Amino acid sequence: MAIKGSDGSRAGKSSGRGQRDLKVRVKTAKGRKLSSKLWLERQLNDPYVARAKRDGYRGRAAYKILELDDKYRFLVPGARVVDLGCAPGGWCQVAVRRVNALGEKSGKSVGRVIGVDLQEVDPVPGAEIHVLDFLSDGADDQVKEWLGGRADVVMSDMAASSSGHKGTDHLRIVALVEAAAALAFDVLEPGGTFVAKVLAGGAESEMQSMLKRNFHKVANVKPPASRSDSSEKFVVATGFRGSDDSNGDLA
């Protein structure tokens, strides 16, 4: 089968260039771990990484929230959004554009985007970034104060630090999602949306039940931008029932 060269011309098999030339290869440098080499090679060959650079996003994760929003339409103009664990800021970038936080869409409502993280994050035009431990006492009140009210969307792409043990990491991220959901119960408007990353496992049944008690619809989705070899998926809970009749305790 003929393939196109870098200049667009067609080259047959006799050119001496094999399929290996179609991918970037990273030579293992002295002292570099094989896992690091494989990660770098994957990054260099990932179309979403290249696309993020072209589109000005801070990472490929931006396309995960883009694809989720394309399907469920929660980042609408005028929406008030809280991004938990927002570093490096790619999800905030997407939210700013979609909720019209900069007022660039004439005739559309202007939304707000609040990003919180344990560490300093480079400014994102149109978003307010704060250093905050969302697990701390009073974090929900602080978020509502920054927003000037309740949120329409609470989203999280957080993952707990890897321990190297798959089962332990799964339990950690489930606990993190449960904590994020607890904050969402306190700050969301009725009808609001909660979006969070989880890892496929088997320990999240209690979390799923908790979300189903508090939202009208709960979907579990693996967007195209999520790598096929990753166990991550995203829970999208829509139609928050409201704090008055919420059954959001974790017991």
Q: Determine if residue 133 is labeled as part of a ligand binding site.
A: yes
**Whole-angstrom Cα distance, residue 122 to residue 120?**
7
User: What are the helix and strand counts (H, E) for the chain?
Assistant: 7, 9
Q: Which fold has domain 59-240?
A: Rossmann fold (3.40.50)
Q: Determine if residue 146 is labeled as part of a ligand binding site.
A: no
- In order along its 251 residues, the chain shows pLDDT tens digits of 333 343 443 333 333 433 333 344 444 445 556 555 544 545 455 677 888 788 889 888 999 999 999 999 999 999 999 999 999 999 999 999 999 999 999 999 999 999 999 999 999 999 999 999 999 999 999 999 999 999 999 999 997 766 666 667 778 888 899 999 999 999 999 999 999 998 776 557 888 999 999 999 999 999 999 877 788 899 999 999 996 544 444 43
**Domain definitions of the chain by residue range:** 59-240
| Catalytic entry in 197, 217, 222, 233 | 197
Q: Determine if residue 117 is labeled as part of a ligand binding site.
A: yes
105 is catalytic: no
Structural contact between residues 218 and 198, judged by C-beta atoms closer than 8 angstroms: no
One-letter amino acid for residue 223 of the chain? P
- Cis preceding-peptide flag for 47 (omega within 30 of 0): no
**Whole-angstrom Cα distance, residue 135 to residue 140?**
9
